[in-house]
Structure 1
Amino acid sequence: METRGLRIKPRKYFSVQRIAVLAALTAMSHVGRLLFQFIPNVQPMTTILLLIALVMGTVDGLVVALLSLLLSNMFLGMGPWTMSQFIAFTVVILVTGCLRPVYRSNRLQPLLKRGLFIAFAFLTGLLYGFVISIIDARLFGIANFWVYYLQGLSFDLLHAAGNAAFFLILEPILVPLIKKHSGLSLD
């Protein structure tokens, strides 16, 4: 590509290898969401998205979030909540992206860092539920937001506990696999 005598090389962000990794992670999120649908709000999808945002970056996390939501909601039911879910996942992924330098640094002891991110995974379940509640209260014209939010808090706590448990289980398995197959360095 040339522009006024300047040669611009297109950035190869989405290589075939990266697309394959994102497709596998999308499939993993989708299958995990379907496998755990019988437990309200407990699913590995949020944790997988957190790990993608921490290891690969926010763009990759957003791509997998959108594809996973569209794919799984085709099976579980598509509706106005799909947009609410995507917005909530976007907020969670952007907040997670802000913590990426902390996750990648070697300044904290590994056990302390792991504990902090398990706690963060728990908090993202609460954040996700709060954002969903804000959007849905406006979307469906619910007059008293706090009553609506507090009635769903038990589901948010289940989501939060599931996130923490899945982070504890998936982080040591999934992070090395993502790094190995996406071509990222194994710090």
Structure 2
Amino acid sequence: MSKSSLNARRISYLALLSAACVVGRLSFTFLPNVQPMTAILLFLSLFLSLPEALLVMAISLVVTNLFVGFDIWTLGQFLSYLGILLVFSTLARLPLVHKHLWLQGILAGAMGFLYGFLYSIFNYFLYGMSVFWPYWLQGLPFDALHAGGNLVFYLLLYPVFQTLFHRFFVKH
């Protein structure tokens, strides 16, 4: 993201995507770990840039955590999202993955498990736990919900976001 690319239109678009993440996350709080926010961030890292995805992620986490609870775990969420966005943006650019939506969907689902693993590592050190693996294994059902939500939202929202990103950011 160069300085010249961060114009008023792009800032407005990123603000709207942040709002979509916030509304999406808050709308699905009744389902643990199921939300469209992760899929939207994955789209941003794929179609725009990793720095823009990280910016929207940081804004979305701060705003949503003001509603659902803000504490040290927000740092764990930030670091976990950073990890999955780095991995996804790297792997999604591989020609085989980039060419096949179903592989991207599987990768998006896998990011739910990676997020849970990274978040468990953060909590392990934060709370000074003596054993990691049982703690992480207990969280796998929630990671599976996150993975399933990512898969469904990614496949459902892909055509919408592909069209939006192409319309607003591809030079004709």
Q: Fold match, TM over 0.5?
A: yes
2:117 aligned with 1:146:
no
1:68 maps onto 2:60 in alignment: yes
Alignment pair present for 1:90 and 2:82: yes
Q: Deviations over 1:98-142 (max 9, x none)?
A: 13533xx6x7795xx011001001100000000000001110111
Question: Is the 1:41–1:158 Cα contact (8 Å) retained in structure 2?
Answer: yes
1:125 aligns with 2:112: yes
RMSD between superposed Cα atoms in Å: 1.8
Taking a change above 3 Å as real, the CA distance of residues 58 and 85 of structure 1, as seen in their structure-2 partners, is same
Residue 99 to residue 81, structure 1, CA distance change in 2 (3 Å): same
Q: Deviations over 1:53-78 (max 9, x none)?
A: 00001001000000000010001110
Which blocks of at least 5 consecutive residues in structure 1 are unaligned?
1-9
Q: How do 1:102-117 and structure 2 match up within 5 A?
A: 102=94, 113-117=100-104
Q: Tell me what 1:28 maps to.
A: 20
Letter in 2 for 1:170: L
Deviation per CA, 1:43-100: give whole Å up to 9, x if none.
0110000000000010010000000000100011101110000000001111122135
Give structure 2 stretches of 5+ with no counterpart: none
> Compared with structure 1, are the counterparts of its residues 151 and 63 closer, same or farther at alpha carbon in structure 2 (3 Å cutoff)?
same
**Contact 1:55 1:100 survives alignment (8 Å):** no
Please report how far the alpha carbon of residue 185 of structure 1 lies from its aligned counterpart in structure 2 after TM superposition. Answer: 4.5
Deviations 1:127-176 (A, max 9, x none): 00000000011101111100000001100000000000000100011121
Largest Rg, 1 or 2:
1
**Percentage of pairs with the same residue:** 39
The corresponding residue for 2:145 is 158
Distance (Å, rounded) in 2 between the aligned partners of 1:21 and 1:175: 14
User: Could you tell me whether the CA contact under 8 Å between 2:45 and 2:52 is conserved in 1?
Assistant: yes
Whether the aligned pair in 2 keeps the contact of 1:21 and 1:178 (CA below 8 Å) is: no
